[in-house]
Each structure stands twice: as structure tokens, then as C-alpha cells.
A and B are shown apart, each in its own frame.
Chain A
Amino acid sequence: MEASALDELWVYLSGNPLVSLLVTLLAFALAVRINRWLGGTPLLHAVTLSIALIITFLLLTGIDYATYFEGAQFIHFLLGPATVALAIPLYDHRERVRQLLVPLLAACGAGIVTAVASTLGLALLFGASPQTVLSLAPRSVTSPIAMGVAEQIGGIPSLAAGLVLITGSIGCALGPFIFRMLGVRDPVVQGFTMGLAAHGFGTAQAFAKLGAMAGAFSGLAMGLTGLVTAFLLPALVALFGL
């Protein structure tokens, strides 16, 4: 009697958006705590960690992704207005952006071509299936854009979104190391590079570790890369004969 009442309660709760929302927030808070406890290491990003925690929870409880997303979509939805809000730091630092316009555009072009060409080339070299290659192609672009582009060129949108996130955490882990190797200290250059190579993850890290100015340039790089890639990628993919 007791057990079946509990079962009923669980069936009711697990189909309820409340559970996935609560689990998402708690997992994130826990992941941030763990990351801080490990000395804020970029190797184990709080987002990667919370995703792993939530996937483990869902697999253990047998809740499928569609049910989870019904609740989590309220958080996911805020990505839209947050992207729009990137205009604010950009506006705050408009003078600096105007000064650096030429280096910014040159770095953006070089970065995008490197990202797309090396991704396609390496993935083909390592023998990934065509569908995987096409889902990998937009990996350095912020996920809402990447999903649209992947769909357009014949990849799998939700896989693309996931690969974008992994790219983001890899970028956050590698970034500080590569800047040290190249002797790059300017927070503006670091921020812009992180935004280009690691989109929203890089931008969030730039805001947190390098300050608002680096964050603004990171957001600019993320937006610019997204815009340019959306136009450029279909042509580049055709060039590789995919």
C-alpha cells in the first residue's frame, strides 16, 4: 500500500516540469561548488560537469530526454534574450571596438577559416562518418546558430548542439595554456579569441576571469563568428566535396 502510493507519487513527479527544472539548478549549483573546490580548474568545466550529473540522474531514474526537456526548456529559452543582451557590453566598449576594427575582422576571418577547414580535414582524416563530419562542421559557433547551419548542410542539429558544447569546454581548458605559450597577455585579444573558438563558454569565462572588457570582445567575436559562419559554411562544405 505504502509502496504503491510512493510509486504513484513518483510517476506523477517524474512527468512534471518541476523535477527537471529543480534538478538542472541543483546540478549546476553543485557543479559550480565542485569546480571551485578544485581551484576553479578549466579542465573540469562546471557546465560539462552539470551535464554529466544530469545525464547520470536521468539514466538512473529512467526519465527520457524529451520529458526532461519539457521542464528544462524554460532555462533553454533564456538563451535567446541572453544573446540579445550581448549588445549591452558591446555598446559599453564601442570606442575600443572601433579602434581595433581591422585586427578584429582579420582575426575573425582567419579564425573561422582555420576552425572550419581543420575540423572538416581532421574529421575526414580520422574516418568519421559523413553525418558526423557535417554535424562537427559548425562546432565553433554558438549553439542556436550551429543547429540551424547543421540542419541546412545535412548534419544532425541536436548532435551539433552537443558538439558545440564540448568544443566550448575544450576551448576553455586549452585557452589559458595556448595564450601562455604564445605570450599573449592582452585581455582584449584573449577575450576575442575565446569568443571565436569557444563561443558562449569562452564568453562566460572571459566575463568571469578577464573582466567586462574582455567579455564584451568575446561576445562580439561570438556574434560575428556566428554571422559570418552562417553564410560561409555551406560554401566551404561544398569545397570539401561533402
Chain B
Amino acid sequence: MPLILGMSLLLGCQFAGELLARLLGLPIPGPVIGMVILLVGLTIRGKVPKSLRTTGEGLLRYLTLLFVPAGVGLMVHGRLIANDGVAIAATLVLSTALTLAVTAWVMSSLATRRGGR
């Protein structure tokens, strides 16, 4: 039963998120709004129900597996990727390195100055 209850809670929040996104015409995907809804719910309730923790942490443990089906979709764009391959690869590597460096630098310098370490 815990798995069923936990899954129902997660899907319920996702459903509410989808509904809100559609009704308000938000450009944000339903699951992300669902995450905010669940966070608000947990804050009000003051603790994480055991069923939710079992299901949620189980899903998060295999998060990487869940990206595989979408990734296989790259095979459809073989030609486009071959044409722009060098530009894509160079952009992704340089820009990702830059993003990592800037984010880590800004956050670590601000976090240490506030004494929070």
C-alpha cells in the first residue's frame, strides 16, 4: 500500500500542476509546479509521510534511467547533428564549462562572506 499512496500523492501534485499551468497559461511544465505544490503541502503538514518518502526516494534513486527514452530520440536528428556537429559540440563544452565556473564562483564567494560556509 505505501507505494500506491505515495505514487497517488506524487501524481496528484503533478495533476494539480498541469491544471494550474493550463488554466493560467504559464510557460512552466506541470511537474515543476507540482513540485512547488508538494513543497508547500509538506511545509504546512510539517513532515514527510512515510509512504511518500518510500516512493519518492525510490524514484530519485533511478532518476538517470528516466532520461534514457528521450535521449534515444537523438537518432531521429542524425543529419542535423552531423551538419552542425562541430558547432554544437564546441558550444556545449565551452558554454557548460563557463556556466559551471561562474555559478560555483559566485555562490562560493557569497556563501563564505556570509559566514555560512
Q: Which residues of A contact B (CB under 8 A)?
A: 24-25, 27-28, 45-48, 50-51, 54-55, 58-59, 65, 68-69, 72-73, 75-76, 78-92, 94, 99-100, 102-104, 106-108, 110-111, 114-115, 118-119, 122-123, 126-129, 131-132, 136, 139-140, 143-145, 148-149, 152, 156, 158-159, 161-163, 165-168, 170-171, 174-175, 178-179, 181-182, 184, 186, 188-190, 192-194, 196-198, 200-201, 203-204, 207, 215, 223, 226-227, 230-231, 234
A158 touches B77 (CB 8 A): yes
A80 touches B30 (CB 8 A): yes
Task: Report the separation of the CA atoms of residues A51 and B60 in the bound assembly, to the nearest whole angstrom.
Answer: 19
**Who on chain A is nearest to B65 by CB?**
A28
A90 touches B39 (CB 8 A): yes
Known: A82-B63, A123-B88, A196-B103. 5 other contacts (CB 8 A): A58-B75, A72-B68, A82-B60, A201-B64, A207-B60
**Closest approach, in angstroms, between the C-beta of B63 and any C-beta of chain A?**
4
Q: Within 8 Å CB of B34, what residues of A?
A: 80, 83-84
* Per-residue contact bits, chain B 72-101, to A (CB 8 Å; 1 contact, 0 not): 111111001101101110111111111111
| Chain B residues bordering chain A, tally (CB within 8 A) | 74
Q: Which residues of B contact A (CB under 8 A)?
A: 7, 10-11, 13-14, 17, 27-32, 34-36, 38-39, 42-43, 48, 52-53, 55-57, 59-61, 63-77, 80-81, 83-84, 86-88, 90-108, 110-111, 114, 116-117
- Supposing A58-B72, A165-B67 touch, asked if A156 and B77 sit within 8 A by C-beta, the answer is yes
Sample (15) of A-B pairs whose CB atoms are under 8 Å apart: A75-B69, A85-B60, A111-B99, A127-B87, A131-B80, A140-B99, A145-B32, A158-B70, A166-B74, A168-B67, A179-B104, A192-B107, A200-B66, A201-B64, A207-B60
